[in-house]
Structure 1
Amino acid sequence: MLEWMETAPRRVLALISAACVAMLAFGLYLQHVVGLEPCPMCIVQRYALIGVAIFAGLASLRGSKGWWMSFGLLALLMSGFGAFVAARQSWLQWYPPEFATCGRDFYGMIEHYSFSRSIPMIFQGSGDCAAVDWTLLGGSIANWSFICFAVFAVVLLVLLVRGRRR
């Protein structure tokens, strides 16, 4: 597996980008077909997923080592950020706050507050960020999102370290 990753890094990056697009499509399915409304942290995770998809896709376009390593590093940073947000949401689901109230939605926060004030409000979490509306094999959406972001980060890190050595 590591040998394949080393010989075809562009294919691995394209596969990561395609997996991100599939996850985004599944999130839209859950929202529009199943009827689950995303909380502010879910929306931030979607933006991180879009970032990973774009940067991994751009990294897979050209064979030049500097090109794919630069965009691969950006994809790694976005996947780390997405993993952080998903881990925070999982923490809120496992240990919900005592006073869980449904706060403003993501866009309402951005519209009514400054950016520097709305970002801490997102990570503080609201009542709907601590709710578990859907599970698969005992894990919530946030748990699965963390696992996916962590796998992307590990694969990207291995690609970048092995690409640097080569």
Structure 2
Amino acid sequence: MATSTPDLTARLLWGMAAACVAALALALVAQYVGHMEPCPWCVLQRVIYVVIAIVCAAAALVRARVVRVPLASLALLLSVSGVAAALYQHNVAAASFSCNLTFADKVVSGLGLDSALPSVFSATASCAEASVSVLGVPFAYWSLAMFVLLAAVAAAVVGRSRRA
């Protein structure tokens, strides 16, 4: 019975990583097929998805609880930061015409991702322009829902890993 817990935990972590990759892929499809240009807060959420995917993949590969619990906890913290970014984007940034030099813009520029991989991490719209809906739901809320789901799964993984 003890061997099924780590296997399920690893599957949950791989599922989280896959969900993050899928979210990033959907954002890129929306950008390049649907012509929905990203703002700095959109791009920051992309960065958070990538980091969560990396953290979850690393946690899935390592079975040692002493490593897995902190990594799953980091994934939980990153998911909560994604929730905050999506809420800020929708409730605050979308009401402003410029989101240049905001926290999101500074983080993405500071990491150099907008220069290193501009096709994925370059903000090409203002926050007001990026405030669009898909199926009647603001795009930021779709991201918010994904981050909430990721946080719930990460919390479950932390709980399972601590008990294992």
Where relative contact order (Cα < 8 A, 6+ residues apart) is larger, the structure is: 2
**Between the two proteins, what is the percent identity of the paired residues?**
31
The residue that corresponds to 1:102 in the other structure is 98
The residue that corresponds to 2:27 in the other structure is 27
| C-alpha distance in 2 between matches for 1:79 and 1:150 | 7
Tell me the TM-score normalised to structure 2 length: 0.75
Q: Which amino acid aligns with 1:52?
A: I
Q: Report deviation, 1:136.
A: 3.0
Tell me the TM-score normalised to structure 1 length: 0.74
Q: Report deviation, 1:130.
A: 3.5
Closer, same or farther: CA 74–101 of 1 in aligned 2, 3 Å: same
2:137 to 136, 139, 144: 139
Closer, same or farther: CA 139–40 of 1 in aligned 2, 3 Å: same
Q: Report deviation, 1:145.
A: 0.5
Residues 36 and 130 in structure 2, CA contact (< 8 A), matched pair in contact too = no
Residues 13 and 56 in structure 1, CA contact (< 8 A), matched pair in contact too = yes
Closer, same or farther: CA 74–35 of 1 in aligned 2, 3 Å: same
| C-alpha distance in 2 between matches for 1:5 and 1:140 | 37
Gaps in structure 2 of 5+ consecutive residues: 112-124
Residues 90 and 142 in structure 1, CA contact (< 8 A), matched pair in contact too = yes
1:148 to 121, 142, 146: 146
Residues 92 and 130 in structure 1, CA contact (< 8 A), matched pair in contact too = no
Q: CA RMSD in A?
A: 2.9
Q: Which amino acid aligns with 1:16?
A: M
Q: Which amino acid aligns with 2:153?
A: V
1:86-107, CA deviations, whole angstroms, 9 ceiling, x for partnerless residues?
01112137xx64xx4235388x
User: Structure 1 residue runs of 4+, over 6 Å off?
Assistant: none
| C-alpha distance in 1 between matches for 2:26 and 2:110 | 31
Counterpart secondary structure, 1:8: helix
Gaps in structure 1 of 5+ consecutive residues: 116-126
1:22-48, CA deviations, whole angstroms, 9 ceiling, x for partnerless residues?
111111111122222100100111111
